[in-house]
Amino acid sequence: MWCDHRGQDIERVDVSEPASISTGIAARYATAVYELAKEGKDVKGLEADISVLATAMAESADFNALINSPVYSRADQAAAITAIAKKSGVSALMTNTLALMADKRRLFVLPQLVQTLREVIATDKGEVTADVTSAKALTKAQSDKLAKTLKARMGKDVTINASVDESLIGGLIVKVGSKMIDTSIRSKLSSLQNAMKEVG
């Protein structure tokens, strides 16, 4: 009885582990994948894979359902993720990693894996990654200007990891490591509302 109950607990934990555990799992996969890519002299290919996966997570509800849903069997999840990876032109290394993650019921850590790989690659290159969220997609000129400004401030080359959140209305949220700069209009409106409450 105790064994059965324990088995159920383990399966349940697989689906909804705390963020810190997810980050730990992602870090182990990221280290292994990055070392293999370096050995194969294909870090550029890995960066292309990261881009493809980040776009899929940002734009496809079906893709997110596949990586997060406990409904799919391991075999179905592995077959689907392998087919998607091959169709997207993802490298054999990343395709095999995704299949292994599906088999181990670990696909739900894919967002953390992509983030960790970006950080590992940037650190190895002596760069810093800045997560930039804007109300509208940044143009190449805006992205380049922001990277230059951040480089002057940080003293290191900065890679921009851009995403869009229309609820910001305008402005930017820039996160570099533990530092965050929030110049979004939503944040300013929120501060204004709080100030008005205090006055009233």
Domain boundaries, the chain: 1-125, 128-200
Q: What CATH number matches the domain at 1-125, 3.40.50.300, 1.10.10.10, 3.40.630.10, 1.10.520.20? A: 1.10.520.20
Residue 130: phi and psi, rounded to 5, are: -110, 125
Q: Give the global pTM.
A: 0.63
pLDDT of amino acid 19: 63
pLDDT of amino acid 14: 44
Write the DSSP assignment of 18-37 as a string of letters. -HHHHHHHHHHHHHHHHHHH
Q: Measured at the alpha carbon of residue 12, what is the angle toward residues 58 and 50, in degrees to the nearest 5?
A: 25
How far does Cα 186 stand from its chain's mean position? 23
C-alpha 66/C-alpha 46 separation (Å) is 22
Low-confidence ranges of the chain (pLDDT < 50): 1-17
Q: Which residue has the tokens 């990055």?
A: 34
pLDDT of amino acid 114: 93
3-state helix, strand, coil in the chain (%, to 5): 70, 10, 20
Q: Which residue has the tokens 């349940």?
A: 12
pLDDT, tens only, 70-117: 888 889 999 999 999 999 999 999 999 999 999 999 999 999 999 899
pLDDT, tens only, 115-129: 899 888 888 888 888
